């Protein structure tokens, strides 16, 4: 159990989000946790780490961006993810439309605890390292940042958590957590989560900018339980409150078949 919790704590929503969320953000609810009323904010955060639309395995998704005028653009993507002793490795590849097909995004959690990120653009024939402030830029014109897509909603390594009063959200008994970044200078000043008590999936995640205003809202819906007892959202929406745009991820299919290690290398990224 201790090893399992350590892996979850280091793991990269969707989102939560995430892709996180991005959400997002999918692990089984660990047996033997303390009674719900006794859980600390940190323990709740540990339980929800990784509750996205794919744990270790593959997911094919439709990603739709909708601008403030209501104009839509649909993309089809495949996610590969493998949980490791240091967190998780992830590869995202665009399948359609033709103008973005072959674009790939690789993230690797290394032994130092850092998440390394590369974006491969077939038109250029080479990858670009995403680091520093660039990690907070919009990912491929979506309402997710590179960091949010790359981490799939990992919060525990970057935020301190406080447990607020429980609430009933959309008819579901939920924990409420308020997160504050450990280091200044990040994109958000605070994050608030509503976490379903039964599934430990974050149903709603609010992101507040540096001025303290609500900037984005992540919603996880259509929760389904896998054969392994894991809960996964199959409809994820990131809404940008300041621009009026939104990004919707619909999970089309998932598989827990092991992903070869070679998928998470720069050599494979360039194929």
Extents of the domains making up the chain = 2-269
- In whole numbers, what is the pLDDT of the chain averaged over residues? 83
Give the model confidence (pLDDT) of 245-258 as tens digits: 999 999 999 888 99
pLDDT at 156 over 80: no
Give the model confidence (pLDDT) of 29-46 as tens digits: 333 344 555 899 999 988
What confidence tier does 271 reach under pLDDT thresholds 50, 70, 90? confident
Task: Please give the residue that has the higher pLDDT: either 185 or 196.
Answer: 196
Closest among 19, 14, 271 to 120, alpha carbons compared: 271
What topology is assigned to 2-269 in CATH?
outer membrane lipoprotein receptor (LolB), chain A (2.50.20)
Give the pLDDT confidence score for residue 114 in this predicted structure: 85
What is the C-alpha separation between 184 and 187, in angstroms, rounded?
9
Give the pLDDT confidence score for residue 134 in this predicted structure: 93
CB 180 within 8 A of CB 204: no
Torsion sign over Cα 260, 264, 267, 271? positive
Give the pLDDT confidence score for residue 3 in this predicted structure: 39
Per the confidence metrics, is the pTM higher than 0.85?
no
Go through 78-105 and write b for each residue having 16 or more CB atoms within 10 A of its CB, e for each that does not.
bbbbbbbebbbbbbbbbeeeeebeebbb
Task: Please give the residue that has the higher pLDDT: either 180 or 20.
Answer: 180
pLDDT at 50 over 80: no
Give the pLDDT confidence score for residue 237 in this predicted structure: 97
Percent of the chain with pLDDT over 90: 59
């Amino acid at each position: 159990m201790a090893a399992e919790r350590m892996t979850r704590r280091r793991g990269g929503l969707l989102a939560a989000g995430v892709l996180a969320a991005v959400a997002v953000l999918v692990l089984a609810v660990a047996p033997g946790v303390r009674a719900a009323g006794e859980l600390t904010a940190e323990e709740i955060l540990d339980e929800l780490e990784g509750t996205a639309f794919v744990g270790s395995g593959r997911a094919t998704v439709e990603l739709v961006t909708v601008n403030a005028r209501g104009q839509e653009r649909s993309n089809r993507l495949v996610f590969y993810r493998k949980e490791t002793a240091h967190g998780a490795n992830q590869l995202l590849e665009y399948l359609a439309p033709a103008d973005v097909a072959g674009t790939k995004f690789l993230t690797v959690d290394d032994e130092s605890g850092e998440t390394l990120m590369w974006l491969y653009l077939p038109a250029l024939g080479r990858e670009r390292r995403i680091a520093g402030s660039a990690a907070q830029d919009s990912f491929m014109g979506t309402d997710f940042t590179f960091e949010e897509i790359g981490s799939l909603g990992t919060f525990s390594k970057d935020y301190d958590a406080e447990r607020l009063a429980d609430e009933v959200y959309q008819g579901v008994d939920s924990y409420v957590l308020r997160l504050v970044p450990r280091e200044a200078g990040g994109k958000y000043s605070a994050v608030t989560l509503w976490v379903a008590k039964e599934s430990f999936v974050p149903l709603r995640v609010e992101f507040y900018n540096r001025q303290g205003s609500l900037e984005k809202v992540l919603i996880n819906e259509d929760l389904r339980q896998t054969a392994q007892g894991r809960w996964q959202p199959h409809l994820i929406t990131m809404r940008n409150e300041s621009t009026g745009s939104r990004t919707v991820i619909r999970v089309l299919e998932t598989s827990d078949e092991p992903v070869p290690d070679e998928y998470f290398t720069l050599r494979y990224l360039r194929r």
